[in-house]
Chain A
């Protein structure tokens, strides 16, 4: 019988390839991860078991811890349309507010809007850090919702018109986002106004249950 010599091979595994792959993945995840932007209005949403994903193109009404209402429009191209519609629908109601092309351009960049409409030309010129500062000091008054000066209702009407004209959508994608500590009155008022304006379907934005932040 011939003798066989078992060839002793090295147990060294070349890790280079694996290292390459893992760092590639790592850089991919870091680059694609979206950092949570510093929000102008800090909101701590309540948790729920709901599982539907939030779409980016919704119009969100935010109610902060103090019960003030803000509006943010997800689709940039809708912002100008809604702004123009708002003023063309309410020409007599809000006179003397200078809306230039520059104002419209700046409004498109505005992340969240939450002042009475007469402050709109001045508030759009502020940077987001200024807005955060204003929000902290309580100078952003929120969109008025009382029945005597129901500007939120006029905004909703403008939103409905724009979505009906542009997307043939009778029920615009509206979401309500509220702080979990906020008094129910503010949210109830927004729901009431939505009902007045015949918007019956909307979403409540919450965070996934099981995460405590």
Chain B
């Protein structure tokens, strides 16, 4: 208990019949202290849990120069090219033509991927696991930054695109980007 026994017979010996000390409760109201303590607890709990690093798994194909490149259906492919200043280019298929700009917002890149996923689904259906058969090829110019790469990989996770690969950029694509979407010499 918070209260201390206060003896009433305190200074009796010195002052005979003197002033009677008033008996006061020594009980302290601890409610504000409890409030404060819980406030601090919640503060510490919230701040510690927020500052956490998380990991993202990334698997790359094995180095095997003799292996022939995997043949893919052109209609399943979507190319994404991360450029400088948070610009993202995309074009479907394997012919470098008709590159369009888009941004990293949910209304931008995510819509492009989801739309393409729908197209692929109507043409090829889903695979045996029920995932989209879309193949995304991710390329990055030398001016892109690391955040762009993580953003794209994150988008793959959000849209549940299972098949994607990080590839080197093709000179034709650099040319097309410089010309605003179409390469002059397309093959």
Contacts and interface: CB of A to CB of B under 8 A. Distances in A.
Nearest to B56: A50
Contacts of A208: 50, 52, 54
Contacts of B140: 184, 188
A204 B59 CA distance: 10
Nearest to A179: B146
A23 interface: yes
Interface string B18-38: 000000000101110110011
Nearest to A49: B154
A90 interface: no
Contacts, number: 153
Interface residues of A, number: 56
Nearest to B47: A33
A185 interface: yes
Most chain B CB inside 10 Å of its own CB: which residue of A26, A30, A36, A198: A26
Given A15-B33, A16-B30, A46 B2 contact: no
B29 to A, nearest CB: 7
B157 interface: yes
A194 B63 CA distance: 10
A22 B148 contact: no
Interface stretch (A51-59, A129-137, A151-159): A51-59
Nearest to B168: A188
Interface string A181-192: 111111110010
Given A19-B37, A49-B157, A208-B50, A183 B55 contact: no
B153 interface: yes
A183 B154 contact: no
Nearest to B150: A46
Nearest to B62: A200
A202 B52 contact: no
A30 B44 contact: yes
A108 interface: no
A110 to B, nearest CB: 20
A109 interface: no
Contacts of A178: 146, 150
A7 B87 CA distance: 77
A187 B146 contact: yes
B63 A184 contact: no
Given A184-B146, A195-B63, A19 B151 contact: no
A201 interface: yes
Interface of B: 1-2, 27, 29-31, 33-34, 37-38, 40-41, 44-45, 48, 50-63, 82, 140-151, 153-154, 157-158, 166
Given A22-B41, A48-B54, 13 more contacts: A15-B34, A16-B30, A26-B40, A29-B44, A48-B151, A181-B146, A181-B147, A184-B149, A201-B60, A203-B58, A204-B153, A206-B150, A213-B51
9 contacts: A26-B40, A30-B44, A46-B146, A48-B151, A52-B55, A180-B145, A198-B63, A203-B58, A206-B150
Nearest 7 Cβ contacts at the A-B interface:
A15-B30, A22-B37, A180-B147, A50-B56, A203-B55, A178-B146, A46-B147
